[in-house]
A = this chain, B = another copy of it.
Amino acid sequence: MKAIIQRVTTASVSVGEVPISSIGRGLCVLLGISMEDTQKDVDYMVRKILNLRLFDDENGRAWSKSVMDKEYEVLCVSQFTLQCILKGNKPDFHAAMPAELSQPFYNNILEHLRSTYKPEMIKDGQFGAYMQVHIQNDGPVTIELVSPSAPMDPKQLAKQEKQQQRKEKPRSKGPLESGRERAAPRPRAQDPNASSGADGDVSSERET
């Protein structure tokens, strides 16, 4: 799971001309759920969102207080485009959890945020709708969070594989063994979606 967290003075969501929700000071969280996410990722994200020290304390000391410490609000909006893999210049979203699965998953995250903090301090958007999200980024302060079990960035993986191959060249090794090594750093390499996405991305990326 990926989250883009923006510290805000205000933030709100509207659908068409209809205001859906709004917060004052706090955090606007855009949340990208991947195919691979589990309850472990939810626990991590909820803990980090609520405890990250992104606010000043009463003496103006920066990076001292969390959104809970300050009793500020959280606006959380589902954002599947964060699970983007670039195929050249075209975004591909096959790594994102499909809507029918991600909606209950996302609701579970909201519930978890509400029960850990206070229900009335957690606002959300309208799942799947075409929204306008008004964000007054305060600072600006923007943090990217990646939950620990997120799949690795395919571009970095490819680069790392190439480096590994280069390092391996002078050594005399059987093809089986070196193949096993290159695969080793790839987490969950057995997932067909993850691998094909990565391969497709890398090859087309080089053409641009």
Contacts A4-B144, A81-B140, A152-B156 aside, 11 further interface pairs with beta carbons under 8 A come to A6-B135, A30-B140, A52-B91, A79-B142, A84-B144, A130-B139, A133-B137, A133-B140, A134-B137, A167-B180, A185-B185
Known A81-B139, A144-B82, A152-B156: A66·B53 in contact at CB below 8 Å: no
Q: How far is the CA of A152 from the CA of B150 in the complex (A)?
A: 13
Check A159 for interface membership: any CB of B closer than 8 A.
Answer: yes
Say whether A155 contacts B144, CB under 8 Å. no
Say whether B164 contacts A155, CB under 8 Å. no
Known A91-B63, A136-B133: A30·B142 in contact at CB below 8 Å: yes
Determine how many copies of this chain the complex contains. 2
- 11 contacts across the A-B interface (CB closer than 8 A): A4-B4, A52-B89, A53-B89, A54-B91, A82-B144, A91-B143, A134-B135, A134-B136, A146-B156, A148-B159, A181-B181
Residues of A in contact, count (CB < 8 Å): 55
Check A208 for interface membership: any CB of B closer than 8 A.
Answer: yes
Check A123 for interface membership: any CB of B closer than 8 A.
Answer: no
Residues of the B chain whose Cβ atoms lie less than 8 Å from the Cβ of A4: 4, 142, 144
Interchain residue pairs A-B with the least CB separation, the first 3: A133-B137, A135-B135, A51-B89
Say whether A184 contacts B159, CB under 8 Å. no
Q: How far is the CA of A131 from the CA of B140 in the complex (A)?
A: 6
Contact residues of A between 148 and 189, Cβ < 8 Å to B: 148, 150, 152-153, 155-156, 159-160, 163-164, 167, 180-181, 184-185, 187
Check A27 for interface membership: any CB of B closer than 8 A.
Answer: no
Say whether B89 contacts A142, CB under 8 Å. no
Check A71 for interface membership: any CB of B closer than 8 A.
Answer: no
Check A195 for interface membership: any CB of B closer than 8 A.
Answer: no
Residues of the B chain whose Cβ atoms lie less than 8 Å from the Cβ of A21: none
A205 to chain B: closest residue by CB: B148
Say whether A53 contacts B146, CB under 8 Å. no
